[in-house]
Every structure is written in structure tokens, then in C-alpha cells.
Amino acid sequence: MKNKHNIGDKVLFSGNEAIALGAFEAGVKVASAYPGTPSTEILENLCTYEGVYAEWAPNEKVALEVALGASFAGARALATMKHVGLNVAADPLFTAAYTGVKGGLVVVTADDPEMHSSQNEQDNRNYAYAAKVPMLEPSDASEAKEFLKTAYRISEEFDTPVLLRTTTRVAHVKGVVTIGAAESSSAMLGIEKMPEKFVMLPGHARKRRVELEKRLARLREFAETFPENRIEWGDRQKGFITSGVSYLYVKEAVPGASVLKLGMAYPFPDRMIREFASKVQELFIVEELDPFIETHVRALGIMCKGKELVPAMGELNSQIVRNAITAAAATDLFTPVAIPMRPPNLCAGCPHRGIFHAISKLKVFVAGDIGCYTLAALKPLSSMDSCVCMGASIGTAFGMEKALGNDALGKIVAVIGDSTFMHSGITGLIDVVYNRGFSTVIILDNRTTGMTGHQPNPSTGMTLSGETSTAIDIEALCRAIGVKHVVSLDPHQHENAVNVLRQEIERPEPSVIITKAPCALLPEIKKKKDKKLYTVRAKNCTGCRSCLKIGCPAIEWVPLTPEEAKQLGYKETQKGHSYINPVMCIGCGQCAPLCKFKAIAVVGEDNG
């Protein structure tokens, strides 16, 4: 579909779309990933190109292993993930640095400074240093495409995996990208046995360890003449060393300054850095998050200014850079006015709302996980008590249980989404069964990966490219692991959900509750024809606000003055009434049983 463009055409692409195009132009044959903001769109786009196999793996570790295998077979291969995904994939990465590659291998890590959609703000440039692999860092979409192609050449020339790091403001920024020519790898496809290279027994690994150091030395030399490490001479009063999107902020904030732009974030071109530093009066390092460049520059014995001026937390922008570097007078800005917050919320009709409302009745500790449902931690549901990383719900619940012993029975539940369970929840559940726990695990099966924009996963029976596949049966899987009590229920049925929960949390054995209802944003729900929408029978509403406790965006509170209340036939003391917005209601019915006064009814049946 994307192949419709001709060489030389200019297109408006995000960094992620550009990386997909770059992968196609680089002749990538195999690409594997787990969705994660801000990296998801790379594979969603790449799967539309002809001749590329692209898949969603259950997690990032598997994704990188699949890409590494493809490389062993001589194909150019790609693994993409968000920053925290590389923690999961770090195990294969560190040893892939030893084996090296056959076909070019690139790992894209998409970092999220400011944590727009993440649980932490780690700076993955540190992985390049720790794993001893080169890292390229583009500043915009156009560079992202070109750098990815360059990364494959480096990978094959130096026999190493290459990291390509983006950040949210590269991955999700659209810019002008030019369609280029396709190239191909010089590696040959086929099976080749090279145990000393591919089998990392200690004896082999020790030899590869030496090779790794030699390779790094060659890469350091390469960095000195690599055209994407470049000096832009300007005013020599102030000189800036920078990389990635920070380069753009420097260019915007201090036009005409001298800049050393590092297209390769690791290893560093030491001679180039020394030369640049020696020719500017004052040296500044501008980088988002950690003092990665700064620490190296200081280790070279070069005086510079960095994190004492530029924040080490959050995103930068040109104003932050300008204010940090220059003594610019503060501009006369409007101050913010106090207005109601608009926090993200579970959608109208979201099945997660039903189960979290039921859980909130139990007064238990809810060990949560990563997904849309993490929003249940916010008011008014306020029913999640911990959230750490993908799959952590089960392990943390079990750990609490082991610490508290029998006192924990009936007091803790783990809650995890279907895709997250496939990612890394299964092993946690195995621990519970194996080590004689009694944890209650609630798996929220909404038949998709919701938060990242509805990707299929191993339990949905659909692949990235839309082919039907075997749907992993979560219920059967849990039983096969050894969980004897596995119950499925409809989370929209409040009473039943509460009863089942009460019964299962008291069980002194492991149990799994699977809530089955599709995400309200899936086409099968959105396009459903005979939806029974709900409405508020105005005369029955007493203004008790019970229905507002589930925080459904379709239910609104209409405040009334005493006169208005009187006019509408209410008691003068009634402060308002509820209203269901017919445009937003999707007819899930969760709200109806909450009303003791039978004021919530199906539209058309509201005259009784």
C-alpha cells in the first residue's frame, strides 16, 4: 500500500512512518515487536510494505530473539520497542553484542522523556554503553529514515547489532521525508553453522569478548569520520555538543552558534570533541535526560556546562534551552488560569469499569498492571493500588501474600490485561501455582491491546497483517499451568461479578477470573446496530449521585438552583439530577443497577 510512492517523492511522515520506510528501503526481511508508545506505528506501517514479514511478538525479548534469528539466517532484521521494552529485551541484546550478526540487525528503542505514556523516564543511551553496541540518534523523521539505512550498513560492516534511539518528539513528529531507492544486504541467506560465533559457551564467549573490544575500537575510529557526527561552525563564543531532538532546540534557541551534532550517540568521536572544545570559548552540552554526553566529555578532562543549567528531567524545548544558556529576560507570558482538569478516563461502555467497580466493593489491595485499565487508579473508581511494569501484578500480589501469610487471604487481587498476561503474566502465574500460593488473578480479556491503539495479540486469533491465527485459549492455558479454579464472567453484569469475586478471593488456592467483554472502541461494538441506549427518567432521579461513582463519561451531573429544581417538579433542596448523554452512551448497562430509584432505563422503556 505504501509502495505507491516514486523515488524522489516528498511525503509527510512521522519518525515512525519514516523508520518503516527506511526498513523497506534497507531491504529488511523480518521485523518483530511488541506495541508500546511511542514505537507502535513502526510495525503497523511496515506490515503494509510488500516483501517484509512483520509480526507482533508476545514481548520484546521474543521480538529481539526473532530478529536475531533472522539475522543469523542472513536476512536484514528489525526489532522495535519502547524504552522499557528494552529492559525486557536486554538479555538477548547483551549477548547478541558478542555473537554479532550475519544479516544486519537493528533494534529501535523509542524513549519517552516527560512520560507522556510511560511509567518511567529511563535514558536508553545508557544501554549502548552497557551492551557495548553502537547507537545512532536521529533528530527528525527525515534523519530517522536515513539513519536506519546507515545502521544496517554499520551492522554488517562491523558485525554488530546497532541501536537506533528515538524519543517521543522524533517518533511522533511529522516532517517532510523523501522516498529513496531500495538497497539490499551483501549477506547471503542460508543456514551456516558457526559455533564459535553463535554458541556463547564460556570458552567461545571469552574469544568473542576480545573481538567485541576490537570492534569498539574500530567503531571509535569510524565515529571520527562518520558524516553524521558533524561540526557546524558559527559564532565561537559559545559551542554546543548535542544530539537527537535537542539539536533542533539548540538551532532554534541559539541561531548561529557553533554546534557539534552527534548523529552517533555511542561510541564517541574523542578527537572531534577535543578539536571542537578547543576552538570555542565556552562549551555547553545540551541533552535530554541523563548527562550521557557530558559525563564522557568531562572524563576526557574537558571543562563544560551541562546539567547544572539544563534540566535532567522531562522534555526540553527551545525556550528551556534558551533560558538555561543565555541570560535572556523572562518573556511576559500569560499565567495559567485555574480551570477544571481534564484527566484521561476509561471510555463510555468500557468493560474494565464494570470489574473495577465490582472490585471496589471488596476493599482489597489491587496489584495492577500496564494498560488502559491502569486508569482505574484515578477517581472516582480509585481501585488500583500498585502498577510497576508489564506483568508485575501477579508477582507483586504473590510476594505480598508470602510476606503476610494467611492474613493475606481475601485481601489481595492481581489484575492484568489479556495482552499483558501474554507478554509476561504467565510466568508469574506459574510461580503462584508452583509455590503453593492462593492468589486471585483477574485477567481482563477485552480481545485487543487497547492503550496502544488496538493491536491484535496471541489471544485474539489475528496477526499483525490481519491473517487469522490460532487464538491462545487463556482459560485452557491457566488450567494447563495447574490453576484448578478458572471462572469466566461478563464484567457488565455487576451483581454476578461481585459474587464471583467474593467467592474466589476467599479460596485458599490459586484462582483465575477471566472477564470477557470486548473493548468498547472495537468496530464490532461501535458499529453494532441494535444497541439499547440508556436514559435517566427525570422524575425518578433523586440526585443521590450513586450513578456518578463509576465515572462513566456518558453520565453527567446537571446542577440545579432551588428555583430550577422546583420548576422541574423536584424538591427545592435537590441540588441537581443525572443525565445520560445519548451521543456517548453505548448501552453497556453498567449504570442501571446502581440506581435504587429505577431512574435509569433503556430508551423507549422509560415511561414506566
Partner 1 sequence: MGKTTNLFLCGVGGQGILLASEVISSACMKAGFDIKQSEVHGMAQRGGSVVAHLRYGEKVFSPLIEPGDADIVVSFELLEALRYLPYMNRKTRVIVNTQKILPSPVATGVDTYPADVLDQLTQRGITVFPIDAFEIAKSAGETRAVNMVLVGALSALLPLDEKIFLEVISERIPEKIRKKNSEAFLKGKEAIANLKR
Q: Applying CB under 8 A, which residues contact partner 1?
A: 10, 12, 37-38, 40-41, 116-117, 140, 168-169, 172-176, 245, 248-249, 251-253, 315, 317-319, 331-337, 339-347, 372, 375, 380, 451-453, 545, 548, 551, 553, 555-557, 559, 575-576
Q: Minimal distance in Å, beta carbon 462 to partner 1?
A: 21
Q: Minimal distance in Å, beta carbon 571 to partner 1?
A: 17
Q: By C-beta, is 380 or 518 nearer to partner 1?
A: 380
Q: By C-beta, is 369 or 504 nearer to partner 1?
A: 369
**What is the layout of strands, in order, in the sheet containing 440-445?**
365-367, 412-417, 440-445, 511-516, 485-489
Cβ atoms of 441 and 511 within 8 Å: the answer is yes
Those residues whose C-beta lies under 8 Å from the C-beta of residue 366, and which sit 6 or more positions away, are: 359, 383, 384, 385, 386, 412, 413, 414, 415
Q: Minimal distance in Å, beta carbon 556 to partner 1?
A: 5
Identify the DSSP state of 5.
S
Cα–Cα distance list, 357 to 107, 125, 387, 545, 589 (Å): 40, 41, 18, 15, 13
Spatial separation of the C-alpha atoms in residues 368 and 393, rounded to whole Å: 5
Those residues whose C-beta lies under 8 Å from the C-beta of residue 92, and which sit 6 or more positions away, are: 61, 64, 65, 68
Burial of residue 147 (CB within 10 Å: 0-12, 13-18, 19+) is buried
- Nine cell digits for residue 201: 559457551
Q: By C-beta, is 31 or 350 nearer to partner 1?
A: 350
Q: Minimal distance in Å, beta carbon 440 to partner 1?
A: 27
500 conformational bin, left if phi > 0, alpha if psi -120 to 50, beta if neither: alpha
Q: By C-beta, is 283 or 451 nearer to partner 1?
A: 451
Q: By C-beta, is 453 or 508 nearer to partner 1?
A: 453
Q: Minimal distance in Å, beta carbon 141 to partner 1?
A: 9
Cα–Cα distance list, 343 to 346, 381, 382, 437, 546 (Å): 10, 13, 13, 37, 21
Q: By C-beta, is 75 or 173 nearer to partner 1?
A: 173
Q: By C-beta, is 27 or 38 nearer to partner 1?
A: 38
- Nine cell digits for residue 578: 443525572
Q: Minimal distance in Å, beta carbon 74 to partner 1?
A: 35
Q: By C-beta, is 71 or 393 nearer to partner 1?
A: 393
| Rg, the chain, Cα only | 28
Q: Minimal distance in Å, beta carbon 112 to partner 1?
A: 9
CA atoms within 13 A on the CB side of 384: 25
Q: Minimal distance in Å, beta carbon 403 to partner 1?
A: 31
Which residues are 282's β-sheet partners? 238
